[in-house]
Amino acid sequence: MKFIFTFSLLLFTHIVFAQNGTLSGIVSDVKGKPVELASVTLKNTKIGVSTKSDGSFTLSVPAGDYTVLVSSIGYEVYQQPVLVKDNETVTLSISLNEAAETLQQVEITGRKETTYKNDATFVATKSSTLIKDIPQSVSYVTKEILQDQGVFRVNEAVKNISGVSQFTFYNDLTIRGHRVSGNDNYGSLVNGMRSFASFWKQGLTPHLERIEVLKGPASALYGNTSPGGSINRVTKKPLAEKRQSLNFQMGSFDTFRATADFTGPMNEDKTLLYRLNLGYEDAQSFRDLQFDKNVIVAPSFTFLPTENTRVNFDLVYQQSKGRLDRGQAVLGDGDIYSSSISKSLSRVNDYLKESSYLVTVSLNHRFSKAVSFNMAYMKAGFEEDLLEHRSANTYGKDSAGVNIPNLVEMQVFIRNRKWHNDNLTSYFNIDFRTGPLEHKVVAGYDYAQEVLAAGGSQLVARGYRNASNTGAINSYDPKKKSNYLLDAKGNPVPNVAHMDLTADNPYYLADMSKYFYSRTDYAPTLYSSQGVYIQDQIRFRRFQLLLGLRQDYFTDILDYKLSSEKTIKQSALIPRVGLVYTVNDHINAYATYVEGYQPQLATTIATPNAGGPFDPLISNLKEAGLKTEWFGKRFLANLSVYRLEVNGALYNAGDTSNPDLLSQIGQEVSKGVEIDLLGQIAQNWSLSVSYAYNDATFTKSANPEEVGRQKPNAPKHQGNIWTKYVIANGPLAGLGVGFGANFVTERLGSIVAAGAEPFILPGYELINGALYYQVAKFRIQVNANNLANKTHWVGGYDRIRLFPGSPRSFLLGVGYTF
């Protein structure tokens, strides 16, 4: 008993009187600016902390010898041995060197920052480069802006980016006046790799770290790309520190959403990291019969076997159910307010079911400080199962063939298709010097292919019934009235009943067996491209010169693996040159010239009735601007001026007998100015401002009336402001307010039949707001959009296909981090 008492006393004395030492310091960059959220750890221990906004840190540690490791994205890793004694405070002053090239080239490492500003990207150079050092405009939206604005879709986010606007309801945008759509394999990137997505459903954001837009053609790096720009979706990656959060949203139009984000190490030495993002949505719409049910599952794993090797595995699976909304139709007299913005053309029978997956394996290996190798392979699949009632892009006809203003001619599509995509990219990053010149060389090879799988087919019911009521004729010809079945008024009987825009409730359950169908079989196709490229970023004192050259080969195989298989091949040599000059610590000036090449082949066009063959799309961009940083590099202010020339774009031909027919326009020129302001003015005050002036017109065309006309859905002026302020101290600490507004000037609808005037979409201004309250790990926010309840249209083709924006709506969000 005495022994037990003596032992317990000694143990208690040791616990009470044993003292730790203290390790503290300030982490800053070479210019003395504090580095926030830098990771400070003691090597081979679990002891660590992140720096505060002033760069400071404090650790209580047992006495001993340690090696301090300090790391932060955009800086070289700092190491320093240190001896900590009992009751002693060791103070360090640590200066980090900028080293963008140490970032992982295939976005393997997760982004630790939690602000509106992002410093570096690889999408513009395929080497991790500070955005201020890139001789081309790159805009982005971080996940922090998405959260603060309550955004769940990419289309809602792009209002923050200068020069980007919606074209339709769909996954369908305009960049500098040029259309970029989801199912086109030239406009959408995921982590810098070409991807295939739904055209009908907008891209979702719960699994995204940020959305980037590289303005202008990026063909010198990626081959077949859109001339207006490329949208890169950067997915969230694992972090070496534990972070977990749950968020729930509910609001107008019976909206409910739930998201989860879990990340951290899976073992003690942090060589295996994970991240899991989950998303769920069940929402109705202000549009009749429309709804969305979405599920996202996005796990990601990073394996770090050595300090020089990193492997990442990503999976993004999405499933969507809803109806395809073809837009609002107005009465044939052209009054845009003559029908309700809530009225759709759907029937209760309709459905749209989509599923997709993206699987990516990425490797980064550093052979030395100067040489690294990057490789990534992406496998993607997409399936579409559709039944829809939609307009035939015209009004119903009377016996004389004249439009009946209140009746929309209808058609029915029943379609099922599957695509499979493979994408491989591999390249070396090599840093070296030749005398006074510093070189960052990228040399690589890319391969991408897209296959429309066998078995795709479509049933179409359209037109008017023949005289014997045994079939249908696609369009009505009053000169051949005897060929048609006529009603009591002498009007032709439609195959699919017209939609009456004046009816109170036209959404009946249609009898699908009463229609006459024609069948279209989609022959399997294969489109592939491969390219070799080299790029050198040369630094000499205040100058940085970028030179790039790519040789691309395109192969288009029609009737793939069938006896009628036909192969078409093209090739292109694509240059790029850019120059950056560092004026001072705050300002970089740049200028660039890039060319673009985009094949317009049968396999890349969604419908077999589009016509063709078509010549490739050729483009070139001349751009200059300023990129600046202020307030301790927390805030950027960028200006760009550009001229973009595009030759050979495709537009709807306006042929009522074949609504899918395309025509090739001669030349288009976009000239404009863009301004972006983004970041923190103060620690608790964030600001995002964008403005774009874009004069996008047709300069050459076979139809003289089109010359000088504004391009479809390309506003001349658009802008956005969003600001958020959070009270830091006092009884109201944690309370924040957000305010925003965005505007778009009038736009023209799509090209119609020769000689006809396109539809004019009015401009609009919207006001949005938000309230936040953060206490400990709990956050609640309320977002209010379109506070003035402004009736507006985000895009449109013509009087039968208009895309109204949402009226006033509210969203309550609740989040918890643990």
CB-based contacts of 388: which residues, under 8 Å, 6+ apart? 323, 324, 326, 346, 350, 352, 412, 413
Residue 228 pLDDT:
92
Do 132 and 629 touch, CB atoms closer than 8 A?
yes
Longest Cα–Cα distance of the chain, Å, equals 118
Distance CA 162, CA 295 (A): 30
Distance CA 176, CA 751 (A): 18
State the residue range of the domain holding 60. Answer: 2-98
Tokens of 416: 């099922």
Give the distance from CA 405 to its chain's centroid.
Answer: 38
Give which of 676, 598, 680, 602 is closest to 634, Cα–Cα: 680
Confidence band for 14, pLDDT divided at 50, 70 and 90:
very low
Residue 437 pLDDT:
94
Strand pairing category for 89-96 and 21-29: parallel
Distance CA 274, CA 239 (A): 7
Distance CA 382, CA 317 (A): 10
Residue 8 pLDDT:
44
Do 522 and 361 touch, CB atoms closer than 8 A?
no
* Tens digits of residue pLDDT in 553-577: 999 888 888 888 888 888 999 999 9
Residue carrying the six token digits 């979409």: 761
Q: Of the residues 69, 98, 127, which one is the last residue of a structural domain?
A: 98
Do 160 and 720 touch, CB atoms closer than 8 A?
yes
The verdict on residue 51 lying in a domain is: yes
Give the distance from CA 573 to its chain's centroid.
Answer: 28
Q: CATH code at 81?
A: 2.60.40.1120
Please tell me the least confidently modeled range out of 5-9, 29-33, 716-720.
5-9
Q: How confident is the model over 277-293, as a mean pLDDT? A: 97
- Better-scored residue on pLDDT, 666 or 789: 789
Report the C-alpha dihedral over residues 788, 791, 795, 799, rounded to 10 degrees. Answer: -170
Distance CA 450, CA 293 (A): 27
The verdict on residue 472 lying in a domain is: no
Cβ density class 375-403: b for 16+ within 10 Å, e for less: bbbbebbbbbebbbbbbbbbbbbbeeeee
Do 680 and 117 touch, CB atoms closer than 8 A?
yes
* Tens digits of residue pLDDT in 388-423: 999 999 999 999 999 999 999 999 999 999 999 999
Q: How many other C-beta atoms lie within 10 A of the C-beta of residue 493?
A: 15
Residue 746 pLDDT:
96
Residue 335 pLDDT:
86
In the chain, the number of structural domains is 2
- H-only helix segments in 96-213: 143-148, 154-157
Q: How confident is the model over 534-546, as a mean pLDDT? A: 95
**Which amino acid belongs to residue 157?**
A
The verdict on residue 110 lying in a domain is: no
Confidence band for 604, pLDDT divided at 50, 70 and 90:
low
Q: Is the peptide bond before 613 cis (omega within 30 degrees of 0)?
A: yes
Residues facing 518 on adjacent strands:
460
Tokens of 671: 């000239």
Q: CATH code at 775?
A: 2.40.170.20
**Which amino acid belongs to residue 704?**
P
- Whether the per-residue pLDDT at 111 is higher than 70: the answer is no
- Better-scored residue on pLDDT, 43 or 408: 408
Do 166 and 154 touch, CB atoms closer than 8 A?
no
Q: Of the residues 78, 98, 118, which one is the last residue of a structural domain?
A: 98
The verdict on residue 665 lying in a domain is: yes
**Which amino acid belongs to residue 34?**
P
Identify the three-state secondary structure at position 144.
helix
Angle subtended at Cα 149 by Cα 144 and Cα 153, rounded to the nearest 5 degrees: 90
Residues facing 283 on adjacent strands:
292
Q: How confident is the model over 139-166, as a mean pLDDT? A: 94
Confidence band for 16, pLDDT divided at 50, 70 and 90:
very low
The two counts, helices (H) then strands (E), for the chain are: 4, 50
Distance CA 294, CA 155 (A): 16
Q: How confident is the model over 493-511, as a mean pLDDT? A: 92
Distance CA 561, CA 205 (A): 37
* Tens digits of residue pLDDT in 712-744: 999 999 999 999 999 988 899 999 999 999 999
Q: How confident is the model over 681-690, as a mean pLDDT? A: 92
Give which of 101, 111, 96 is closest to 29, Cα–Cα: 96
- Percentage of the chain modeled with pLDDT above 90: 66
Confidence band for 53, pLDDT divided at 50, 70 and 90:
confident
Residue 161 pLDDT:
96
The verdict on residue 484 lying in a domain is: no
Q: How many other C-beta atoms lie within 10 A of the C-beta of residue 550?
A: 23
The verdict on residue 705 lying in a domain is: yes
Residue 112 pLDDT:
58
Burial class (CB in 10 A: 0-12, 13-18, 19+), 260: middle
The verdict on residue 132 lying in a domain is: no
Residue 71 pLDDT:
79
Confidence band for 763, pLDDT divided at 50, 70 and 90:
very high
The verdict on residue 811 lying in a domain is: yes
* Tens digits of residue pLDDT in 301-333: 999 999 899 999 999 999 999 999 999 999 987
Q: How confident is the model over 155-165, as a mean pLDDT? A: 94
Model pTM score: 0.84
Q: Of the residues 98, 129, 161, which one is the last residue of a structural domain?
A: 98
